[in-house]
Each structure stands twice: as structure tokens, then as C-alpha cells.
Structure 1
């Protein structure tokens, strides 16, 4: 009798009230991970198609509510969205499975490419390959601006917020957390006052008319609980910060591993707005402050992340790899680079699980709150301005070899030196933009074509 009861309990746990077993969810999340190319815009579109349209696990409104919360968080919004939905479906284990599978292919791929880059990056044909990759990256980032902009900027208020965010970060050098706070406050007050609010979202698919497996109720595990929240915070803060403290204690703050742990832990807390905002921050610090990379190498890393599955923020693993590879000390450089890359990945993604497991229950109970929806929509709009800033930054450093600071009153920015233009980079970037925007050629064929063009230019002796 007891055995039968235990068997029934196990079966109930394997197939929760929504009827999706953990095994079926594993297969679906594995599929999502394998298709997670194209940056956050493409990854969110894949999840929307599979989870909302095809599987009907979650409704359109609930998906968008979770997406807006993840856009508010520091770190990669697509990975956090997968973690959120996995947690809703199958508690903490489901969140770990969905979020972990989402980044696993990228960890393996970026590590392999980092080894190749470290060993052969200065070999002409490899450099030519990445020269071609960088040209297509600009088109991909511009496409992300348009995709997210179409979804987020549904009225003049949100368009104005995006424009203001761009001016603040590009011309005034305003810190992104301040931009997020200001946009969120404006949206919150606007929501309370009844100003026009339009949630960002994808295409209508009828999910609301036909329902979804989760329903609109809040699962028991998704209800806020102060004791559970304290336990979640204690566990994940320990997993995240204890390794950092141990490195500083035993190696000292000046050691490259301590610097990696501290820097990327800070990054995990302050780089709001997802991968694109994080890349702008890391590029500035890793290139200008620490000297771990040169501007061209940051673009090489982004090219790697664009050609492999997983979130774009996986480029940080490449940054950590190269930092430790060049500061290996007595360690074997490749071993040091591998450890540095894995350490970077750990301190980057451990906080992502903390934000979801700690905050999602409170976000669930606030669904339908106009003030919160206004704040989340406003923050999403501000992120569009930040992505535009990143697109211009990448464009300048891809096409021009040199920049110079320019200032008018409070306005400061780096302007390209026109004589330093790389005509072949300009031609390849223009071709990539034309291919993707005019002829609607996909991201991967475009990347393959520009990479092949880079190799052809090298074989022809045009680029060194």
C-alpha cells in the first residue's frame, strides 16, 4: 500500500497539474538551447514561438510580463526569461534546467573558440575570418535595434524615452543604472496617472482565446513567502560570493583571478538592460581600464558569441579567458585561460538565478498592476536607446581605425577620424546590412558569407 502511494506521489511530481513532465520539459528546453542563435531578439522570438504558440505552456500576457521583468534585471534577459518560465513550470529544478541548458552550448563553443583564438588568433587566415565576422556583427546589432524598437516603442512617450536614453548615454556619459531608474520612475508615475501604456510584445497568436497550460492562477510555489525568500537569498549569495571572497583572501586583490571575480561580480549587479548594455560596459572597462583586450578583440569575441548558440553575454567568457591567459603567471596559459573563462561564467550567471528565484514570486502577484507595467515598459524603451548607442560604438570601431574625443559644453563623445576608415570593412558591413535588411537573408548565412569574404581578401593579399 505504501509502495503504491509512493508511486502515485512520484507520478504526480513527474507530471504536475499542467501535465508537462520534467522529461518532456527537458527535451523542449534542449531544443530552445539548440536554436538560441541571433542574440536576445532572436532567442526571445524562438521562445515565444515554442512556448506560447506551439506548446501553449504560457499565455501571451504572462510571457510579456515575465519578459519586461527580465529586461529590468541586470544580465541576459533571454536566459533569465527561460529560467523564469522553467521555474513557473517545475519549481527551482525547472528553472535550473531551463537556464542551465540555455547557456551550456555557449560555454562549450566559446571555450573551444577561445582556445583557437589564443593559439592561432595572430595567424593571418584566422584574423581574416574574424575580420569578416566583425563586419556582419554591425548589421546584426542594427537589426536588434529595429526588432526590439518595433516591439517596445508603441507610442510617442516611449519613443521619447528611448531618444532621451540614447542622448544621455552617448553624449552625456550617464551611467545605465541612473537611466534605468529615471525611466522606471517616469513609467511608474505615468502608469499611476493613467497615461498611455503599451506592453512590448510579439505577434498575436490567439493564446489568450485558447488558454494555456499554466492558466492565469499563481502556482503554490510562486506565491511570495518571506522565509523562502530569505533561504533563496542565503543559498545563492553564498554560491555566488564565497568563491570570490576565497580568491581575494588567498591570492590577493591584484591577482588576475581576483580581478576577474570582482569585476564580473560588479558587472552582474550594475549592467542593467541585458547583453547589449553589458557589452558596452565591459568593452569600456576591459579595454580601457584593465587592458585585458584591444577594441578589435572585443569585436572578435562578439563575433564568436553571434555564431554560437546561447546568450550574447557569453562573450564575457572570452574576455575572462584572454585576461587569465595573458596574466597566467606560473600557470600554463591555456589552463589559466580555461579557469578564467569558467570563473567569469560562474560569477556572471549565478546572480541571474538569484534575481529570478528571489524576485519572480513578487512579480507574479503584481501582474495587472498598471504602475508596475508602466515602469517595465518605460525601462524596455530606454534599453532601445542603449542598444542604439552600442550599435554606433561597434560601427565606429569596426569601420574606423582611430577615434578622437569631441566635446561641446556638457556633451562628450568619441568621433571617428575619417582618414582612418577601412574601406574593406565598410564594404563588408554595407553588404551585410543590405543582405539582411533588403534581401532578408538570415543571420547565419550572412555571417558565413562575410567570414568567407574575409578569408578571400586574405588569400588575395588585400588584408594582412
Structure 2
């Protein structure tokens, strides 16, 4: 009789098919993508345990960049080493890259066409519901205790009303979880169905890469140097061929910095990129950022692919002597390259150490607290998007250290409100799929646009 704890073998070929399936279903932002991975990898295939999935998720939520893509890379690495991680991470990106590139080209060339404006009108409003659904789904999975819910609420207040820098929120949350977890461990631990028996069956991912050779200092340095070289390649090519003042070099610089400082995934990168691309560089307008986010919400792949849209428009509109279309395509490639190369660096260099710390309760508590804080930040950005979409006239004010917004009720977009409410009812009340809900919202947006209900 075979040992019940002996993990099943998952072939690389079988894994590729599953990663392709996950990539094709990865609509609706990080939480829905994480939910898809959980359903397929944990519940259906049983390739990874609930506790190991959440441990990997907590680490990825701690990192700057797209947590869903990093989670796919992490689990791919657990199953088949670096080739598995590279495969899972790249397949997760590919559908979104192709989709956003096609939509960016159409947007740049036909943006002012009434039909395109009508589609974008419905897309922006329905996007609010998708963001809200994403936050709620992730909250149900992560905020399993009163303390975690309190941490998320404090994080929301800190960043939305007091403008506390996100790295500061992450640091405080991590320290809080590390210390308080010693006294209230159950308040920082998500319960699992294995808790009753104390026995968790072994899964394919339980043969994770935790051998000493894989966590050696020499290996870590080699991995870091390799991915730093890959990350820097666009800088070298652009600087040597076009110069450091070219828009492509500026894009490589901006989106590399975004890959380092934007914790919390696409929801946090939005505010940073909006500030830089709109206010500093003047590459596009603030409403266009929402158009790009709507595209990323409604196509497969990481929500952070919104940066590809920004990179395309920036190069398309500042092409110099180059063809606008060629410049836009190169802008997309450079942007995606420097955005995702660091993600592979973080996983391949850090995941082996995180696996060794998997049974360290204090570290797990710190990661759980950080994840809750990140969810609060995501909620704050959902509120910001709501204000930006539903009201044409809004103002930002400060009262001492408190930041708050005021809106002109007369500037409320009745069409956007109607579409948002309908999409919310379809998604939450009748539990229609994202694709069906979006389709209905887009049709309703077209109708509202043409009859003048804006």
C-alpha cells in the first residue's frame, strides 16, 4: 500500500496545459485571478495545500508588483523549479499583452470615434463593480478574524485620509503582526479544514525547493545577478541606439521604479503611474488612465497590464522620427519587460527562503498582517476610482493632516450610476459571470451614450 502522504507526480506537460487554462480564465483583477488559481490548483487538482497556497500568497502580497502573476510564478516554481516558474509567469502575462496591445492600437487610432467613446463609457462604470467584487472576494478569503479586519480598516483610513506612505503601512503592519502574533496567534491565522484533525495531506507542491543547495548564498547571488542583467537589457539597447533622452528610456526608468515601489499590485501602481505619467511627463490625461484600467479589467492577464497601455500611448504620442505605431509597440514591449523582470527576480531569489520559513509562526503572522493592510489600500483605491468615475466635478481638500474629497452632486453621471447599479445587481444578486455582466454593461453604456444619459 502506498503512503497516503506521498505526493502525486505532476508532469511539466500537464502543468503547461493547466497554466494555459488559468491564463485564459484570468479576468477581473488580482483577487478573481487568485480565486481561479485556488479553485483549480487547490480544490480541483489538489496540487498545493491550502496552507502552502496562503503562505505563498502572503509573500506575494508583500512584494511590489502584480501579486497574482507572482503567485503563479511561485507555484510553478514549487512544482517544476525555475522552468516551471518561468513558464507559469510568462503564460500568465501573454494573453493580456496581446489583448492590451490590440486595444491600445485601436484606442490610439480611433479614440474619438463615437462607437469607441460609447464602449469606454460603459466600460468605466462597470469597472467599479469589478474592483468592488475583487476586494470583497479577497477580503472573504483573507480577513478571517476581527483583528485582520481591523488592520484592513486602519490601513484604509491611514492611506485614504492621512496619506500615509504605503511602505510605512507595510512596515508597521509587519511589525504589528510579528509582535502581536506571539500573544494572539489565532487572530492572525486563517483557519483551514485540516485544523480539526491536525493532519494535512501531502500535495505535489510539498516537494518544494528547500534543499540547502537552493538556498545557498552563491545561488542567491547568481540568481540576482542574472535577473538584474535581464532587467537592465532594455536600458542598454535603448540608450545605445536612441539615447537616454528618448521616451523609451524614460519609460524604462519610470516603470522600473514602479516595479520597485508600488506594493499592492495594480491598484497601488495606478496612483503612482497616474501621478508620474499624467502630472510629471504629460503623456496622457487622467481619464485615459481609467480607460486603460478598464481595458486591463476586461482582458485576461494581470491588472497591472494597465502600464502597457500607458507605455504604448506615451511612445505613440512622442515618437520623434520613428513611426508612431512602431514606437507604441516598442513602448509596450519595454514597459512590460521592465515591469515583470523584477517579479521573476523576487520569486526565484526569495521563494526558497520563504519556504524555509513556512513553519515559522512569527513570520507567517507578520505576512498575514501585511496582507490585511494591503487589502485596506486596495479598498482606498476603489473609493478613489468611484469618485473619479461617477462625478465630473470633484475637489481634494486638507484639514490639518486629514485629506478628504468633496464632489458636486449636480455633476453626478446618471448613466455611469445606472450602469454601475445594474452591473452590481447582475454580479452580486444574480451571480452572473464577469463576461456576461460586462457584455450587458457595455450594451447599456452604448444605449446611455447615444440617448444622451451621461
TM-score (norm 1): 0.91
Alpha-carbon separation, structure 2, partners of 1:293 and 1:200 = 42
Contact kept, 8 Å, 1:190 with 1:371, in 2: the verdict is no
Alpha-carbon separation, structure 1, partners of 2:180 and 2:346 = 26
Contact kept, 8 Å, 2:41 with 2:47, in 1: the verdict is yes
Q: Please tell me whether residue 50 in structure 1 is matched to residue 62 in structure 2.
A: no
Alpha-carbon separation, structure 2, partners of 1:444 and 1:253 = 42
Deviation string for 1:379-400 (max 9, x for gaps)?
1111111111111111111111
* 1:284, distance to aligned residue in structure 2 (A): 2.9
Alpha-carbon separation, structure 2, partners of 1:324 and 1:59 = 44
Query: Which residue of 2 is the match for residue 399 of structure 1?
Result: 390
SS in 2 for 1:214: helix
Q: Please tell me whether residue 78 in structure 1 is matched to residue 72 in structure 2.
A: no
Q: Unaligned stretches of 5+ in structure 2?
A: 1-6
Query: Which residue of 2 is the match for residue 307 of structure 1?
Result: 298
Deviation string for 1:336-383 (max 9, x for gaps)?
111101111000000000000000000000012111111111111111
Alpha-carbon separation, structure 1, partners of 2:198 and 2:264 = 28
SS in 1 for 2:172: helix
Q: Please tell me whether residue 422 in structure 1 is matched to residue 413 in structure 2.
A: yes
Q: Please tell me whether residue 214 in structure 1 is matched to residue 205 in structure 2.
A: yes
Alpha-carbon separation, structure 2, partners of 1:129 and 1:322 = 19
Counterparts of 1:410-449 in structure 2, within 5 Å, are: 410-449=401-440
Alpha-carbon separation, structure 1, partners of 2:43 and 2:146 = 29
Deviation string for 1:154-195 (max 9, x for gaps)?
223222221221112111222211111111111111223444
Deviation string for 1:235-264 (max 9, x for gaps)?
000110242255346645542111111110
* 1:406, distance to aligned residue in structure 2 (A): 1.4
Q: Unaligned stretches of 5+ in structure 1?
A: 1-16
Alpha-carbon separation, structure 2, partners of 1:43 and 1:173 = 28
2:334 is aligned, of 343, 348, 352, to 343
Contact kept, 8 Å, 2:146 with 2:187, in 1: the verdict is no
* 1:310, distance to aligned residue in structure 2 (A): 0.6
Deviation string for 1:83-130 (max 9, x for gaps)?
011111111111110100011011101100111111111101101101
Q: Please tell me whether residue 102 in structure 1 is matched to residue 92 in structure 2.
A: yes
Q: 1:417 to 1:460 in 2, by over 3 A?
A: closer
Contact kept, 8 Å, 2:415 with 2:453, in 1: the verdict is no
Alpha-carbon separation, structure 1, partners of 2:393 and 2:180 = 43
Alpha-carbon separation, structure 1, partners of 2:192 and 2:291 = 31
Alpha-carbon separation, structure 1, partners of 2:91 and 2:44 = 20
1:266 is aligned, of 247, 250, 257, to 257
Counterparts of 1:118-267 in structure 2, within 5 Å, are: 118-200=108-190, 209-215=200-206, 219-220=210-211, 223-248=214-239, 251-267=242-258
Contact kept, 8 Å, 2:147 with 2:188, in 1: the verdict is no
Q: 1:18 to 1:222 in 2, by over 3 A?
A: farther
TM-score (norm 2): 0.93
- My pick for the range that moved more, 353-362 or 438-447, is 438-447
